[in-house]
Amino acid sequence: MKIAYLGPAGTFSEVAALLTATPEDELIPFASFPALVSAVETGIAQVAVLPIENSIEGSVSTTVDLLIHETSLLISREVVVPVHHFLVGPPGAKITDIKTVHSHPQALGQCRRFLERCLPNAHQSAALSTAGSVADVVRAGDTSVAAIGPLRAAELYGGEVLARNIEDNHLNVTRFVALSEHDHAPTGADRTSFCATIPSNVPGSLHALLTELAVDNIQMTKLESRPAKGLLGEYFFLIDIEGHRTDERIAGALERIRAKADTLKIFGSYPRFTLENGG
């Protein structure tokens, strides 16, 4: 099987792709989220792995918008990747010599406390990718320049780890989803994701939708709104529930929701990530 992920090699996205892969699978890096979706839709790959939610930053809007507006691919799996950042220099680098730190702006922000305390005078330079910044720093060989990135990037590109787990929040994780032509068969421990729009100027319309979950004792694990990219004040409501869309109870509730909603789009049903089944 061919699995598409957001490159280059060494990113957290590659780590997520490896968690969905078997030793026989081939991983293919792409440069953007839309390219990942197109890779599956055109047969280049069978699966695309994209980040959908971070425990600190919230939903990844690009992925959510692709699911809502641009693709009929379904979520077939989810994996959760801990976000641990490492300060990496070229071979021979010492932390006392570092004058510039290179990384993606989010990584720099997530390591603010470490940078303020341990490298207060270092210049911070923005990059497009954490893994790419590690590769660039190692390739350049300037021992006064370090990068912040995943451990896998340091291992792949031969970098010198100068400090480990430098993120401010050690509980930071990113949830990734695997998109494919079909979602997953029922396992008994599943999650279903969908979005809906509600009639405008109808008081209680969202409550009416959610009541259909409550009456069947269906656990909702996520609810958020996303602008519909039309008129101001129009939103898609993104909902995750426990259970598989083919379960009789879930299927019935979804049909009742469909009858009350203006639109309903099911993103797929897939096994819930747990330490026992995923890592």
Where in the sequence numbering do the catalytic residues fall? 174, 176
**Residue 218 CB: number of other CB atoms within 10 A?**
19
Tell the residue number behind the tokens 């699995």, with chain if given: 3
Q: Are residues 189 and 272 in contact, defined by beta-carbon separation less than 8 angstroms?
A: yes
Tokens linked to 231: 């008129």
Element (H, E) at 117: helix 112-118
Between CA 267 and CA 262 the distance in angstroms is 17
Q: Taking each helix axis as running N to C, give the angle between helix 248-260 and helix 205-215, from 0 to 180 degrees, rounded to the nearest 10.
A: 170
Q: Is the dihedral of CA 100, 101, 105, 108 positive or negative?
A: negative
Q: Is the dihedral of CA 68, 69, 74, 75 positive or negative?
A: negative
51 preceded by cis ω (within 30°)?
A: no
Q: How many residues does the chain have?
A: 279
